[in-house]
Structure 1
């Protein structure tokens, strides 16, 4: 995996583009400073421009930006961006302009560091996430003030105290894993219902819907300076058809009565990012029992298998072979492996209840749910794919995850990734994604197309025998297991376990349906005994 170890020469079909930008910057530099420009950083500048048309445009249109970057391209310190944005105006039009200008400057600086190989992946993701957090909080403060001027302060009907909105980040924002051109997935909620205290009183729900609408507009309305962040609210209860903001009680009621398994999966990433942070954390603690179950229900296993099947169906229907996120062996498969294990095991091991991909990946071997070697493979692949994804997006500030097909763009991406040709990069991507897909399949002990087929009768017979503690070692060996006595003990231990005894009739029936499939799928793997041992450990967790 290259990623700028020793960058090759700028490709011929890219060099003319770079030269044109260098010439324009030289003219601008001379106009600003009245002297011949300093070419001491010319090699670095050419390398960055080769990798990003977006950065080249920003350097040409933003006074003194190139000078400032040449003077210092050191990483931002934690909290530095937050402090800068916290001092901005609360006037709507002024804030919109200032936030867009700051985004342009910060992504140019960060993109420069990334393209020069100075910024590790974690720095890029954390810096972008801090930029988003601070921008959201500033936009919320401005929006709250604007709506309060019209309707008064929202007051809690029980506490009689002012109420604030809590903004919850989901997805990559929740995990502090934003990329160069991410949406921000948000959820709006408030602690108490009630009414505002102004002369034109409205309900707290109406107030915070208006605040949310204004916040979204501040961040994503296109201007001549672009946007700050695109806002995606589809992960809220009932998606686009649901209320934009809900009280804590309404959210609790929804998840208790209507919450679906995919929402449990999405909420793993929940993190307060703006507004009343303390109340936001309280909300997350309140819904943890919905996300993480102390004892594994088989609905969760079924849901994970359905989600896995949907991923594979989507890959088979769409032309996703060049998509680093959604394609076979892409970023989504890596995240699915990790988050599925969090969902399954997080109820018993609270260390896994983290929105951070990196933290979860580090903890899974300690929790004995994935091997150290598997997690190392996933980490390397994730960092490689995310780094290439950043180069795709910084090229022209586009939200894309697919390798380009046009020759010049292919050459620029390959160059900025440290490869001598597009073909070399694409060959490496095939190797990486095939390895990921192999892990994706093996971790769940399931053949790609075998999940819904009825298992052979021999597996049903074995499970029925195990339930009555009458499984025969010869029967187990004939099916293909290497250690029949050990497998007999494992299988017959399930009906004697406390977790099995606590099952309802429906739960036992679901297990009776599931176990023959698990047996068949484990025998289809390279190491059937190990696969079954892990599967039974998963079921009993």
Structure 2
């Protein structure tokens, strides 16, 4: 490795061109694949202009490697250097889309589709896309052809040849051509059905509105009629034939093949939704909409457009239903119904996603779309110019007609285009359906650069996003006004229905900050004459009281409504809450205690069943062996490493909820379960449960990676060593997993082969676990390895031995005190811990120079890592009496006396502290003070994650969050000041002990 002060000129240029891993880029540029263009400044400039130069370079190398021979490679590179349009297009795509880079690696000749740059290539229509798909006669070839078309479309997008509205329109045209090709394949497979019926495919949603995303469900409705020449064919037979064709079309587009999938075709907007027939005749459709359709169904028909099959029949369908669409505003409560639909969308967003939702959240795309559609439906009855299915076209028409101010319309147009551009680029990266803004800095950097923000892409992106979202939300509230609803709530069985004013007073008295919203939730839960509503009316009076005992009653009620909406039709759900007293109270405590547990529950609402075990057994933590067995079984059933890790994450999500719910209930208490007095035991239980779950998840991920890459057995033994809080069985809800990776070649396997396999395992594990997900992240951190970030990610046992024998530093002996095998080859893990025991438990203890070095390292860490502006006395990790103080004190005792005192040879902080006390190294009073401080700091950290849904080492500044942390710690009823005073007081006492034991004061 080149010394920091002697970097090559290429390295410096790479950094200047936007590469983040200049060392890796330099190696790739110097590699054999790019020999013909080595040093060409044109290539480097073009790479630097992409959204992610590192990603673009990797994709280019993969594409070159995939070429079938030297001649093909040379042709690609020569054309790339000579033709700027190709260079911009190809590298632009490679720097923005990992998924399309994968496609090119699988189909290395497809780069030639990007060579042409003619006027007709700028804006292809449905017919041109149809020609590109014409050769596809089966689902696999259709997927390949579709991706090839998508490649050309994305190239124009990332190069700025087309804007976001044109991109969305072309995506809709490509979807139209794909539906037509899929229907042709289906008809060829069943010519007798095709001869019997006329089938029209009506696009709905974004496809119908000519504003499709890169990855989206394509919403459709099917209409069937007898074919000309079918005579007096029985209608039932005709509909069955059309249904078979429609079903086959959906499978062709939706099913996953070796080439992946295209997109799901979703027909749930049809009459009666998924419970209704897939295909209806035109008269059946018309009869349904005339008699039964709800307001939202007419709102959806705004975007209806015939796209495939019998287009004349499709147009008949649209013509027949359009008059009904423009009469819907005359319905009673029409405006209120539309407003309620929008609120329901927001309310059903998982709490942890609200701030990242581009589409559904406040200030998101739906705010624009719902506002535009409401105004269209109200004013479009008399003004046909407003009847466009495309949001931006309709917004322009509303401004032209004076229904929206021109400045407001311009601001909404700008914001909508920016948000859609963000959405497109997020989806383009891996071609996955998501509307969440990523959290990883690398993803944000690529996203910002793709939108033209080059100076400070992350900060610039977040700033612009927030500004546009604020504009959208303000204008949405202005246009999509909400009149006061005449909501009422029945607060007890048989009790008279309260007026809105009386109900509001009752809720205010109970501490609800937004009684109007609470009234809406109560009305939605308890209105009607169904059995479900009757049970809710029995439960709600008690639940309202339990919610009111929390720091945020409003959140508790909102979360209860979300769970009820998700499970309300499940027979066991309300019976569980009604008949098992503990379940309802447990649920109330969990739903009102913060963000993490409700967020986990919203993604797996069936986990409510865990709360119903009368003796609390459902919340008891499961052991490591049981967890690992379930995870490995789930991995074994999955088809591929990706789905396997998704399955393991599903187990992790449920078990995190089990642990969090048990923690909350033990901390808050219920009538049947008093508050748990032994807080240390509670902390130990949480730490062990989360650590065991993390170990099981890693074991499952390892099994999936090995199975996919090597089958039954890896050519090298492989073990994962837990470090830090992971090795100490002390992980919190938001902790990273600190690890080391060790391997040992199997008999007959050379070290290079073994090393390559081990490195591939580590890389794939990290990749799979870092795939964006709505679940709490599981981040693998291997920075405690030899040589830190500069060292190899995985070593052989022999390499570790050589390094520790010759180069090991004091901090590494210190860090190894927490090392423990957690996954992989257990025997290899045991040999690793035997290898490091002399380092972490040295005979005679560390020398005075080493002790001084440890003290210096601790002081430096506290000085450098304390966040600016934080109150040091309230920082649970680095502040007085915090986790660092206690742990470093205990660990110094382990280094000094672990060789002689067997009880000190443990990775667990509290166990080592107890052993030190038992050996007379600390007094009972000192041990008690340190233990109490460590337990309290750990509980604060857990509380912050439970309350806020994200990790933190300081008390929250927001009053409700701070109050919720206080209740978790036993300081309810406005005693936040007492909590903070108690924490500072405990910190001062613990720091006094640390000064004496650690610093020798």
TM-score tier, shorter chain, comes to 0.7 to 0.9
Aligned position for 2:276: 242
Aligned position for 1:353: 387
Task: Give the Cα–Cα distance (whole angstroms) in 2 for the partners of residues 114 and 60 of structure 1.
Answer: 21
Aligned position for 2:100: 55
What pairs with 1:22-421 in structure 2 (closer than 5 Å)? 22-29=60-67, 31-33=70-72, 35=74, 37-38=77-78, 39-40=80-81, 41=84, 45-72=90-117, 74-85=121-132, 87-88=134-135, 94-149=137-192, 153-154=195-196, 163-191=197-225, 203-293=237-327, 296-315=330-349, 317=351, 319-419=353-453, 420-421=456-457
> Post-superposition, which runs of at least 4 consecutive aligned residues in structure 1 deviate over 6 A?
193-202, 453-456
Measured against aligned partners, the alpha-carbon deviations of 1:183-228 in whole angstroms (never above 9, x if no partner) come to 1000001245999689999611111111111111111111111222
Contact 1:270–1:284 (Cα < 8 Å) also in 2: yes
Cα distance change on mapping 1:57 and 1:318 into 2, 3 Å: same
List runs of 5+ in structure 2 lacking aligned partners. Answer: 1-15, 22-51, 489-498, 502-1001
How high is the TM-score relative to the length of structure 1? 0.74
Contact 1:152–1:198 (Cα < 8 Å) also in 2: no
Contact 2:198–2:226 (Cα < 8 Å) also in 1: no
Measured against aligned partners, the alpha-carbon deviations of 1:68-94 in whole angstroms (never above 9, x if no partner) come to 3144384243344344057446xxxx3
Measured against aligned partners, the alpha-carbon deviations of 1:223-247 in whole angstroms (never above 9, x if no partner) come to 1112223111111111111111011
Contact 2:198–2:227 (Cα < 8 Å) also in 1: no
Task: Give the Cα–Cα distance (whole angstroms) in 2 for the partners of residues 199 and 446 of structure 1.
Answer: 52
The secondary structure found in structure 1 opposite 2:58 is helix
Contact 2:126–2:176 (Cα < 8 Å) also in 1: no
Cα distance change on mapping 1:67 and 1:252 into 2, 3 Å: closer
Task: Give the Cα–Cα distance (whole angstroms) in 2 for the partners of residues 25 and 147 of structure 1.
Answer: 39
Aligned position for 2:927: none
The secondary structure found in structure 2 opposite 1:325 is coil
Cα distance change on mapping 1:318 and 1:277 into 2, 3 Å: farther
Q: Given the alignment of the two structures, is residue 12 of structure 1 paired with residue 59 of structure 2, yes or no?
A: no
Task: Give the Cα–Cα distance (whole angstroms) in 2 for the partners of residues 263 and 236 of structure 1.
Answer: 9
Task: Give the Cα–Cα distance (whole angstroms) in 1 for the partners of residues 227 and 288 of structure 2.
Answer: 16
User: How far does residue 34 in structure 1 lie from its aligned partner after superposition?
Assistant: 5.7
Q: Given the alignment of the two structures, is residue 444 of structure 1 paired with residue 486 of structure 2, yes or no?
A: no
User: How far does residue 341 in structure 1 lie from its aligned partner after superposition?
Assistant: 0.9
User: How far does residue 106 in structure 1 lie from its aligned partner after superposition?
Assistant: 1.4
CA RMSD in angstroms comes to 3.1
Cα distance change on mapping 1:404 and 1:205 into 2, 3 Å: same
Cα distance change on mapping 1:10 and 1:51 into 2, 3 Å: farther
Deviates further, 330-339 or 121-130: 121-130
Contact 2:126–2:177 (Cα < 8 Å) also in 1: no
Task: Give the Cα–Cα distance (whole angstroms) in 2 for the partners of residues 276 and 167 of structure 1.
Answer: 8
User: How far does residue 142 in structure 1 lie from its aligned partner after superposition?
Assistant: 2.8
Q: Given the alignment of the two structures, is residue 423 of structure 1 paired with residue 468 of structure 2, yes or no?
A: no
Cα distance change on mapping 1:360 and 1:211 into 2, 3 Å: same
User: How far does residue 395 in structure 1 lie from its aligned partner after superposition?
Assistant: 0.4
Measured against aligned partners, the alpha-carbon deviations of 1:385-427 in whole angstroms (never above 9, x if no partner) come to 1111110011011111111123332222222122233222112
Measured against aligned partners, the alpha-carbon deviations of 1:351-402 in whole angstroms (never above 9, x if no partner) come to 2222122321111123332111121111111111111111001101111111
Measured against aligned partners, the alpha-carbon deviations of 1:152-210 in whole angstroms (never above 9, x if no partner) come to 732xxxxxxxx411111000010111111121000001245999689999611111111
Task: Give the Cα–Cα distance (whole angstroms) in 2 for the partners of residues 297 and 252 of structure 1.
Answer: 18
Cα distance change on mapping 1:83 and 1:107 into 2, 3 Å: closer
Task: Give the Cα–Cα distance (whole angstroms) in 2 for the partners of residues 301 and 357 of structure 1.
Answer: 19
Cα distance change on mapping 1:165 and 1:68 into 2, 3 Å: closer
Task: Give the Cα–Cα distance (whole angstroms) in 1 for the partners of residues 55 and 187 of structure 2.
Answer: 46
The secondary structure found in structure 2 opposite 1:189 is strand
Decide which structure has the larger Cα Rg and report it.
2
Cα distance change on mapping 1:241 and 1:212 into 2, 3 Å: same
Contact 2:357–2:436 (Cα < 8 Å) also in 1: yes
Task: Give the Cα–Cα distance (whole angstroms) in 1 for the partners of residues 124 and 175 of structure 2.
Answer: 15
Cα distance change on mapping 1:362 and 1:165 into 2, 3 Å: same
Task: Give the Cα–Cα distance (whole angstroms) in 2 for the partners of residues 205 and 114 of structure 1.
Answer: 41
Task: Give the Cα–Cα distance (whole angstroms) in 2 for the partners of residues 317 and 195 of structure 1.
Answer: 57
User: How far does residue 320 in structure 1 lie from its aligned partner after superposition?
Assistant: 2.0
Task: Give the Cα–Cα distance (whole angstroms) in 2 for the partners of residues 373 and 57 of structure 1.
Answer: 43
User: How far does residue 271 in structure 1 lie from its aligned partner after superposition?
Assistant: 0.4
How many residues align? The count is 436
Cα distance change on mapping 1:34 and 1:301 into 2, 3 Å: closer
Task: Give the Cα–Cα distance (whole angstroms) in 2 for the partners of residues 177 and 305 of structure 1.
Answer: 23
Measured against aligned partners, the alpha-carbon deviations of 1:276-328 in whole angstroms (never above 9, x if no partner) come to 11111111111122211187334312212222332343358562211111111
Aligned position for 2:469: 433
User: How far does residue 108 in structure 1 lie from its aligned partner after superposition?
Assistant: 1.3
Measured against aligned partners, the alpha-carbon deviations of 1:110-160 in whole angstroms (never above 9, x if no partner) come to 2122122222112211211111111112222332343333x5732xxxxxx
The secondary structure found in structure 1 opposite 2:201 is strand
Task: Give the Cα–Cα distance (whole angstroms) in 1 for the partners of residues 182 and 226 of structure 2.
Answer: 22
Task: Give the Cα–Cα distance (whole angstroms) in 2 for the partners of residues 374 and 133 of structure 1.
Answer: 33
How high is the TM-score relative to the length of structure 2? 0.41
User: How far does residue 45 in structure 1 lie from its aligned partner after superposition?
Assistant: 4.5
List runs of 5+ in structure 1 lacking aligned partners. Answer: 1-7, 155-162, 457-541
Contact 1:49–1:55 (Cα < 8 Å) also in 2: yes
Cα distance change on mapping 1:67 and 1:165 into 2, 3 Å: closer
The higher relative CO (CA closer than 8 Å, separation ≥ 6) is in 1
Aligned position for 2:788: none
